[in-house]
Structure formats: structure tokens, C-alpha cells
């Protein structure tokens, strides 16, 4: 099951809280993303049968291969959450052990688990037992807490020994959050140690980066996160680059069409007022670097309907066609 996922170095869309909802995932899929992952899903929320939490699991069959990412700090709760997820039939379950956000760390979840390896191991074992071989289990983690505590190698080996079917490393420290540079040498090193697939994540900002990470690290998959915000076409370009060594550039005229496609996808899953509000953060990335972008973003923040938003975008960006 895992081996079929890792044919031809798949390109993953990273789970990004607040961004990779179903609309954005479907948009990225349409633009070449090969493996999708949900936003972080609270194991505690699922075990309370929270409607708000369950909505983060939902996916369309066209999103496959698709994984649900769970976070939590209690092995029993994580196991119950994994068992609950099985009814939705994702292609794998990912366990978040890399989130550096303080409110997650304070709960002993996310990257805090790198400081409590015994609990992290127990979580993987419990989830593995709960799914009973129905689907693969992966773990996403960081290089360590800080540069004086880089334990990704031992942690990765522990995750493998605990039953993880594959892992993903974002080679930044928890202290770095999302600043500075990721250290791809850590991905390369981890790959040399493990017998299970290793996915590399961090600082893939252009198609050339995807090829470079694959060749430098010899990783089994590459994962693109913030580098895809405002440019979902990076996935198809990365595949072209990895397969042929070149890729087709995106024209300015396609920008408006992609934004409209994103809005239309969003309207299929959320009420109009929610779409108008949530698209504001997405549009910050789409409009970054364009002439008049600052003025446009200011006006976007004051729109009250989709029709008003689309008219505004047409007026500003239509001239690029």
C-alpha cells in the first residue's frame, strides 16, 4: 500500500492550517498536486464528535491519494480518533509531531512530542494498532527544538521502530518556526538511516527547488507548503522539472482565471460570507508583487460579496490578460 504511493517521487501538498481547506486542495489537485493532506485535525475534537472538527476530514474522491493529519498528546485519544477516521476511508493517516505553534505545544502535542519520545512512540504504536493495517501511518516532524537539540535522526529511527510506514521531515527547528532556512542536509541524513520512505519538506519555492531536493536528498517524495500559496501551478511545474528538466512558465493572463477557479471551488463548500472573508488571506499571496497590489488588497478587505470581489479582481487583473 505504501509502495504504490511512492512511485516516481510524488509531490505532496503540505497541511497548512487556515489555508489547505478542501477548496484549496482541489485547486492544487487540478494544478498537479499528487498527494493531498488535510489541515490539522484535533484528536480531542474528533473523540468529542465535534461537528466543527469533523468538517476538516471531509474530502472528495478526486483528491486521492489523501491523508488525514491528526494531532494530540494522548495515545488512547489518538487511537480512538484514528479509528473514527477509518470510516471516511482516507489513503493514510499522518500524525503531526512538528507544529511549532505555542497553543499546540502547550498541550504537549505537535513538536512538543519531540521532547517526549516515549509518548510519541506510544502514540504511533496505538494508532497503528487502531487502524489494524487498514492504511499506512506517517509522522511529520522537525529537526529538533533548537540547534543545540537536533534529535531528528534518533526520533526518525524511533518512529520507524514504533510502526510508522513513512515519515516527513521539515528540517527547521521549533525555535525557527518558519523563519530562516531549512537544512536539507538533515533530510539527506535521515534518508540514509531509515528503511521506510522519507518525504522532504521546506523551502520548495520554485520548480527548480523540487528537483534539487529530490536529487540532493534522495528523498522518496517532496512536499510543498507555503511555496504553493498564491501559485498552485507550482505542482505541475515541479513535475515537469523533475521529469524533463524544464517546465512551462505561467503567463500573467492565467492568474485571474486561477483566482476565479479558487473562489468557485470555495463556494461549493462554504457560505458566501465565509468565502469572501477567507479568500482575503489567500489573495494576499496571489497579488504579491503585482503593480497596484497594495491598493487592490486594501479594497479586497472591504468587499462584502463574491460578485463585488470578482468585479474588483476583473477590473484590476483583467488588464493583465
pLDDT at position 159 is 98
pLDDT for position 50: 74
Class of the domain covering 253-320: mainly alpha
pLDDT score for 231: 95
- Cell of residue 251, nine digits: 503567463
Residue 48: predicted pLDDT = 85
- Output the 3-class SS for 71-131: ECCCHHHHHHHHHHHHHHCCCEEEEEECCCCHHHHCCCCHHHHHHCHHHHHHHHHHHHHHH
- Tell me which fold the domain 2-244 belongs to: TIM Barrel (3.20.20)
User: 113 is written with which cell numbers?
Assistant: 512530542
Q: What is the pLDDT of residue 51?
A: 79
Give the pLDDT of residue 195. Answer: 97
In this structure, are residues 287 and 293 in contact, taking their beta carbons and an 8 Å threshold?
A: yes
For residue 314, give the 3-state DSSP assignment: helix
Please tell me which residue in 28, 99, 217, 219 is annotated as part of the active site. Answer: 99
pLDDT, residue 308, reads 95
Report how far apart, in Å, the C-alpha atoms of 26 and of each of 22, 49, 185, 310 are.
6, 26, 32, 20
Rounded Cα gap, residues 259 and 23, in angstroms: 12
Known catalytic residue at 168: no
Q: Distance of alpha carbon 233 from its chain centroid, rounded? A: 15
d(CA 62, CA 316): 32
Q: Where in the chain is the domain with CATH 3.20.20.70?
A: 2-244
Where in the sequence of the chain do the CATH 1.10.1200 domains occur? 253-320
Tens-digit pLDDT string for the chain (321 aa): 677 899 899 999 999 998 999 999 999 999 999 999 999 999 999 988 777 889 899 999 999 999 999 999 999 999 999 999 999 999 999 999 999 999 999 999 999 999 999 999 999 999 999 999 999 999 999 999 999 999 999 999 999 999 999 999 999 999 999 899 999 999 999 999 999 999 999 999 999 999 999 999 999 999 999 999 999 999 999 999 999 999 999 887 789 999 999 999 999 999 999 999 999 999 999 999 888 889 999 999 999 999 999 999 998 887 654
Amino acid at each position: 500500500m505504501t509502495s504504490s504511493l511512492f512511485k516516481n517521487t510524488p509531490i505532496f501538498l503540505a497541511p497548512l492550517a487556515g489555508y489547505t481547506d478542501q477548496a484549496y486542495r482541489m485547486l492544487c489537485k487540478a494544478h498537479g498536486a499528487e498527494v493531498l493532506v488535510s489541515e490539522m485535525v484535533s484528536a480531542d475534537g474528533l473523540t468529542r464528535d465535534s461537528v466543527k472538527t469533523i468538517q476538516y476530514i471531509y474530502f472528495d474522491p478526486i483528491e486521492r491519494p489523501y491523508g488525514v493529519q491528526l494531532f494530540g498528546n494522548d495515545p488512547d485519544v489518538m487511537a480512538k480518533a484514528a479509528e473514527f477516521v477509518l470510516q471516511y476511508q482516507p489513503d493514510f493517516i499522518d500524525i503531526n509531531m512538528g507544529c511549532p505553534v505555542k497553543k499546540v505545544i502547550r498541550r504537549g502535542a505537535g513538536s512538543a512530542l519531540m521532547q517526549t519520545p516515549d509518548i510519541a512512540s506510544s502514540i504511533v504504536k496505538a494508532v497503528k494498532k487502531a487502524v489494524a493495517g487498514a492504511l499506512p501511518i506517517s509522522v511529520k516532524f522537525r529537526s529538533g527544538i533548537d540547534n543545540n537539540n537536533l534529535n531528528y535522526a534518533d526520533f526518525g529511527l524511533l518512529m520507524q521502530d514504533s510502526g510508522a510506514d513513512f515519515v516527513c521531515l521539515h528540517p527547521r527547528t521549533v525555535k525557527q518556526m518558519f523563519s530562516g532556512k531549512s537544512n536539507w542536509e538533515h533530510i539527506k541524513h535521515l534518508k540514509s538511516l531509515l528503511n521506510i520512505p522519507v518525504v522532504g519538506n521546506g523551502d520548495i519555492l520554485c520548480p527548480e527547488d523540487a528537483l534539487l531536493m529530490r536529487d540532493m536528498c534522495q528523498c522518496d517524495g517532496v512536499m510543498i507548503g507555503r511555496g504553493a500559496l498564491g501559485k498552485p501551478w507550482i505542482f505541475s511545474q515541479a513535475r515537469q522539472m523533475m521529469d524533463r528538466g524544464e517546465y512551462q512558465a505561467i503567463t500573467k493572463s492565467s492568474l485571474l482565471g486561477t483566482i476565479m477557479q479558487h473562489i468557485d471551488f470555495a463556494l461549493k463548500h462554504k457560505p458566501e460570507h465565509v468565502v469572501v472573508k477567507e479568500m482575503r488571506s489567500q489573495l494576499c499571496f496571489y497579488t504579491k508583487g503585482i503593480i497596484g497590489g497594495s491598493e487592490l488588497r486594501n479594497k479586497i478587505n472591504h468587499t462584502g460579496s463574491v460578485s463585488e470581489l470578482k468585479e474588483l479582481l476583473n477590473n484590476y487583473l483583467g488588464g493583465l490578460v
